[in-house]
Amino acid sequence: MGHDITLTASDQFQLGAYRAEPASPPKGAIVVIQEIFGVNHHIRSVCDRVAAEGYVAVAPSIFDRIERNFQCGYSPDEVAVARKFVASPDWPAMLRDTQAAIDSVKGLGPIGIVGFCLGGSVAFSAATKLDGLKAAVGYYGGAVVRFAGETPKAPTMLHFGEKDSGIPLTDVETIRTKRPDVELYVYPGAQHGFSCDERASYDKPSADIAWQRTFAFFAKHLMS
């Protein structure tokens, strides 16, 4: 359903991306932001699912500035390697590359963004800083609490797992307190990565509910 493309950021850096097209004329477009594992098999499958919902999906390779086309799985060794990419994240660069993805789908209708893990934090930050978005959704973004003092320019939804060992519920409550304008859900018993069906932490009931909420949210806010 999808294919690889090249994007050009505002500083002329060229990065890869995966783009999936719906079978019928698109309702709009959704930018999909990766976890720390790159634009891998899972993120590509997410794009394909987004396209099946009727939207053009594009997932920029936001690690291309460090290592082009980095992709990996979820074994302990692979997780250790992937974590090195976010030891000192370059947020402005990731946002430039996210803006390039947004710009690449202008003219296709309203644009949303959804991100997972690292991408959840990027999606929230994009909602506060970038142009062209009509809605934003973040899944278990650990850095969202750092950015929670900033106001999203578009309607925003956040998903967290109750048992996420990397994101304490105190952080989630801080976000809820600072951002009463954000629609926020906590999934009982769910761990970090609960939406990824290739990870041991996958929680299908929580993932299904979060997906339904996400696309009801997009259906509401991505209106021409």
Known catalytic residues? Answer: 117, 164, 192
Q: How many Cα atoms are found within 13 Å in the side-chain-facing hemisphere of 175?
A: 28
Which helix (H) or strand (E) segment holds residue 172: the answer is helix 169-178
DSSP secondary structure string for all residues of 95-137 = HHHHHHHHHHTTTSS-EEEEEETHHHHHHHHHHHH-SS-SEEE
Report how far residue 195's alpha carbon sits from residue 210's, in angstroms, rounded to the nearest whole number.
8
Q: To the nearest 10°, the Cα dihedral for 145, 146, 148, 151?
A: -150
